[in-house]
A = this chain, B = another copy of it.
Amino acid sequence: WLYMTPFIGGIGYVGFLTYRLLRPSQICNPSVNKASKKVVDIIDIEDMTSDKVSYCRCWRSKKFPLCDGSHNKHNEDTGDNAGPLVIKKNS
C-alpha cells in the first residue's frame, strides 16, 4: 500500500490549502511595521496639520498611518471595499 503515500500526501496538501483559503480570517496587514506586536497609532488633534485628514485602514498606504489612496488599487486587486477614516476638525 506504500505506493498510496504521495497520493495521500497530495490530498492532505489540497486540504490544507483549502482550509487556508476558506478560513474567514485573513491578515489585514501584510507589511506595516511587522516587528511590532500590535500597530497602534495615537494621533493628537493638535498635531493635525489640516482640517481634514484621511487615515489608512487598508494597511497598503506608503504613508501609513495616513491614507495615500492605495486602497483603490487594493480594492481593485482583491475585490475588497476598504476605505479610510476621515477626521475633520473645524478650526
Contacts and interface: CB of A to CB of B under 8 A. Distances in A.
Interface of A: 13-14, 17-18, 20-21, 24-30, 33-34, 36-46, 55-60, 65, 71, 74-75, 77-90
Protomer copies: 2
A89 B57 contact: no
B40 A84 contact: yes
A33 B39 CA distance: 24
A88 B43 CA distance: 6
B87 A28 contact: no
A28 B59 contact: yes
B82 A28 contact: yes
Given A25-B30, A25-B74, A26-B26, A38 B82 contact: yes
A59 to B, nearest CB: 6
